Amino acid sequence: MNKLTSRIDKERLFLGLAAPVLAVVAALVVTALVILATGKNPGPAFNDMLTYGFASDSQVYILNKATTYYLAGVSVAIGFRMNLFNIGVDGQYRLAAFFAAVLGGALTVPGWLAIPLILICAMATGAVWAAIAGILKVTRGVSEVISTIMLNSIATAVIAYLLQPGKLAQLQQGGTVVATKPLPSGSHFFSINTGPAGDLWGFIFIAVAVGIAYWFVLGRTRFGYDLRTVGQSESAAAASGVSVKKMIATSMIISGAVAGLIGMPTLLNDSYQFSSDFPTGIGFTGIAIALLGRNNPIGIALGALLWGFLERTTNHLEFQGYDKEILGVIQGVIVLCVVIAYEVVRRYGLKRQQQKVGAELAAQAAAQSKKQEVA
Amino acid sequence: MTATMTDTPPPAAPKAAGAPQRTGRSLVQILMLVAGALLLLAAVRVITGSQDLDSAGQVSAALGLAVPIGLAGLAGLWSERAGVVNIGLEGMMILGTFGAGWIGWQTSPWLGLLMGIGFGVIGGLVHAVATVTFGVDHIVSGVAINLLALGATQYLAKLFFAGGAAANAGGNPKQSPPVASLPDVTVPGLSDGLHSIESHHWFLISDLAGILGGLVTHLSVVTVLAALLFAGSWWLLWRTPFGLRLRSCGENPTAAESLGVNVYSYKYAAVAVSGGLAGLGGAFLALVTSHTYLEGQTGGRGYIGLAAMIFGNWRPGGLAMGAGLFGYSDALQLRNGGTTVHALLLLLVVLLVALAGWKLYRKAMLQGVISLVMAAVILVWYLLTDTVPSDFVGATPYVVTLLVLSLSAQRLRMPKADGMRYRKGQGK
């Protein structure tokens, strides 16, 4: 037991926690100033956010939202670990959700077979779409930032073309919404009834499993080690025999496969079909959450929960006479504060380390000169 | 650090032996290229009968759509030449649209234009503080600015446009009240003459008249300003000591510092100018394209501008071409260009065949064969259909950019220290 606690470096732990806390405090201060500037009192607003956010129905809502955001965060984080900037998560998950919905609507097999098929279809679609950017990067040196931006727009066009009555979609009964054929009820993912608080989506277990797999593969396997090495220094990785190009393409594909899962909680637990109002822009949310969580599986979970919390509670602010549009300001400020706080804390840590090492060296030198005097 | 461990990656393709160093083309070469392109375009128009390929209306619409993209790209150019990647362009454009709409409807569109630039500069300064002073990763800071700009403008728009005098004048949380028009310029006489020549549909002459006519009819003053800014940026960055110092910050800041350049202030200046240009691009959208601030008005043009800049190899001329390409295909989409894009397929076939011939001549067998196969596939597509579905017309610029980038990527070279963190005194 003693051994376990002694392994935790208190200073490192403190520094690790300092950055997010600093960022959230800074974000709170900026938000309070913004609310004050509009002539309102920020106190009741924060108070309302807290009480409303911890109501049980809000908690279920937040967990459901966080399931989606967590998958987005992990997908982006996989790229980040390799210094790959996968902006294309957005297009990847939308295209994946669309094709998965089409497949799910067409399948007539029992659910235990249909659900895995839908998931595989989604992951494969995401992987293929990401692979285009990955392959262009390794073979032609095209920046993944640009190619994924282009691919996002192309995905939008592909979906717009196929999501039409007579192609892969149909007009719903109401006659106003165009959507894919709904999934048969057998293919719905299970959810947990929490009574009046609503249904907790069962997909949260898949998200947790993805998080564990992410932690295990990156932290505990040879592949993960190679991947992190390439992310840290391509030349060092190449020198130790890792094929950098292969790693870049592979991690892009894995990132895309995870991106394929992002739309699945919504599809399998909520909407059961893909229509033109399927949520968009979650890929960009994933970037913010991966940054917030520092690419750490638990950090990303906290980031996803924070995002869900903010979304739930700011929507409620309207009833208290505040503007719910403050959400975007809070989110933007948090991300900016987080990145600056991490940088400041990192520099502070480096300085401390230098001082410590310097002090130890000085002490050593002093001890040595003493010894010589004795001798 | 041993001599074998270098940070520069090997070139993606070995330079062909005996190939002349590419230091830009001479004027004659450029003119010949332009003439060739015109001939090709005229031939395709006559063969396919698709008159809208280069009509004055099409060209004029393309120009109007190209300006905001071009300004965003120019903004990216300034920043990246000084070594700061600016993916926050989209956010700075959003700030520009808001600033222009907010002041524009209350006073005059001219003040709105200034306010749009000013709001963009604020966005640029935030980016500079994060990246230059705090050394935050450039892309991360850019993403944060995009989020922040969107959030802040949504919040402020509700405060400023949803109540009181603004609401009476037609504002709502997502839209500002209408702004008066900025003047536009039509070259008298010339425009009509060109129009009559164009309507004869003569080979080459009408094409020229159409393109020129589009360029001189109902030209917004902001478009003229943008053209001047392009020329001015080129002159300032490539022909003055200031530009040389600024670009040296993007190539090798340590060396620049050792020569007495204050790298931080150059980077700050460049990123602030970058924000101002992006803001101007946003203001163009709010004041010229639609006469009002609208939420979501930029529609990703900041990203497209970035793509146009990379497309143009971090040079003003190439960037203008890239922006023109995007503007042109955007205009096709707006003008119901299914048949026109269909005609363009034939142009693509010709270009691909020419490329294949060139590659085969240079003994690049694989690339040559791939180009030929693609040409054949597109030719079949052209022959079997009459039009391109309108949803795909919108995707044309993105597909074209991807194609061009994947065919030309190894020729592109970004500033060497672009996107890298730089700390003062690093070289000591």
Give yes or no for A157 touching B (CB within 8 A).
yes
Structure tokens at B405: 């980038």
Query: What is the pLDDT, as a whole number, of residue B7?
Result: 42
Distance in angstroms (rounded) separating the CA atoms of residues A105 and A125: 16
Give yes or no for A350 touching B (CB within 8 A).
no
Give me the phi and psi of B54, to 5 degrees please: -140, 35
Mean pLDDT over B60-77 rounds to 93
Inter-chain touch B126–A336, beta carbons under 8 Å: yes
Indicate if the pLDDT at residue B236 is higher than 60: yes
Indicate if the pLDDT at residue B1 is higher than 50: no
Name the fold adopted by A60-329: ABC transporter involved in vitamin B12 uptake, BtuC (1.10.3470)
Give yes or no for B391 touching A (CB within 8 A).
yes
Q: What confidence category does residue B364 fall into, taking pLDDT thresholds of 50, 70 and 90?
A: confident
Least confident of A17-21, B138-142, B172-176, B317-321: A17-21
Indicate if the pLDDT at residue B279 is higher than 80: yes
Indicate if the pLDDT at residue B225 is higher than 90: yes
Mean pLDDT over B213-231 rounds to 87
Best of B156, B159, B309, B391 to substitute, by most chain A Cβ atoms within 10 angstroms, is B391
Mean pLDDT over B278-300 rounds to 92
Contacts of A335 in chain B (CB under 8 A): 143-144, 147-148
Taking the model in full, what pTM does it have? 0.84
Domain boundaries, chain A: 60-329
Query: What is the pLDDT, as a whole number, of residue B410?
Result: 64
- Is the sign of the CA dihedral B141, B144, B150, B155 positive or negative? negative
Contacts of B406 in chain A (CB under 8 A): 136, 140, 142
Query: What is the pLDDT, as a whole number, of residue B98?
Result: 95
Give yes or no for B298 touching A (CB within 8 A).
no
Inter-chain touch B134–A340, beta carbons under 8 Å: yes
| Structural domain includes residue B359 | no
Contact A86, A278 (CB under 8 A): no
B contact residues 306-365, partner A, Cβ 8 Å cutoff? 306-307, 310
- Is the sign of the CA dihedral B373, B378, B381, B382 positive or negative? negative
Query: What is the pLDDT, as a whole number, of residue A193?
Result: 86
Query: What is the pLDDT, as a whole number, of residue B19?
Result: 39
Mean pLDDT over B261-268 rounds to 94
Best of B147, B153, B407 to substitute, by most chain A Cβ atoms within 10 angstroms, is B147
Give yes or no for A149 touching B (CB within 8 A).
yes
Indicate if the pLDDT at residue B52 is higher than 90: no
Query: What is the pLDDT, as a whole number, of residue B8?
Result: 42
In terms of C-beta distances under 8 Å and separation of at least 24 residues, what long-range contacts does B4-9 make, across chains too? Answer: B5/A235, B5/A236, B5/A239, B6/A235, B7/A235, B9/A234
Q: What's the domain range around B272?
A: 50-187+219-332
Inter-chain touch B148–A335, beta carbons under 8 Å: yes
Could you read off the pLDDT of B86-107 as tens digits, one per residue?
A: 989 999 999 999 999 999 999 8
- Is the sign of the CA dihedral A329, A335, A341, A344 positive or negative? negative
Q: Please compute, for residue A306, the number of CA atoms within 13 A of its CA located in the half-sphere on the CB side.
A: 25
Selection from A79-93, B154-168, B213-227, B239-253 with the highest mean pLDDT: B239-253
Q: Identify the segments of chain A with pLDDT beneath 70.
A: 1-9, 374-375
B contact residues 109-168, partner A, Cβ 8 Å cutoff? 126, 130, 134-137, 139-141, 143-152, 154-155, 157-159
Q: How many domains does chain B have?
A: 1
Contacts of A331 in chain B (CB under 8 A): 147, 151
Query: What is the pLDDT, as a whole number, of residue B20?
Result: 41
| Structural domain includes residue B361 | no
Contact A173, A159 (CB under 8 A): no
Pairs of CB atoms within 8 A across A/B: 139
Give yes or no for B404 touching A (CB within 8 A).
no
Mean pLDDT over the full length of chain B: 83
Query: What is the pLDDT, as a whole number, of residue B278?
Result: 97
Query: What is the pLDDT, as a whole number, of residue B381?
Result: 84
Inter-chain touch B155–A323, beta carbons under 8 Å: yes
**A89-109 burial by CB neighbour count: b if 16+ within 10 A, else e?**
bbbbbbbbbbbbbbbbbebee
Inter-chain touch B158–A161, beta carbons under 8 Å: no
Q: How far B341 CA sits from the closest chain A CA (Å)?
A: 15
Percent of chain B topping pLDDT 70:
92
Give yes or no for B395 touching A (CB within 8 A).
yes
Hey, what amino acid is at B201?
A: H
Contact A301, A211 (CB under 8 A): yes
Q: How far B346 CA sits from the closest chain A CA (Å)?
A: 21
Indicate if the pLDDT at residue B14 is higher than 60: no
Domain harbouring B139, CATH code: 1.10.3470
Higher pLDDT, B394 or A200: A200
Query: What is the pLDDT, as a whole number, of residue B89?
Result: 94
Task: Closest CB to A327: pick one of B139, B151, B401.
Answer: B151
Quickly tell me which residue has 């009968």 as its tokens: B49
Inter-chain touch A335–B152, beta carbons under 8 Å: no
Task: Closest CB to A332: pick one of B6, B130, B151.
Answer: B151
Task: Closest CB to A335: pick one of B5, B144, B159.
Answer: B144
Model-level ipTM above the cut of 0.85: no
Q: How far A325 CA sits from the closest chain B CA (Å)?
A: 5
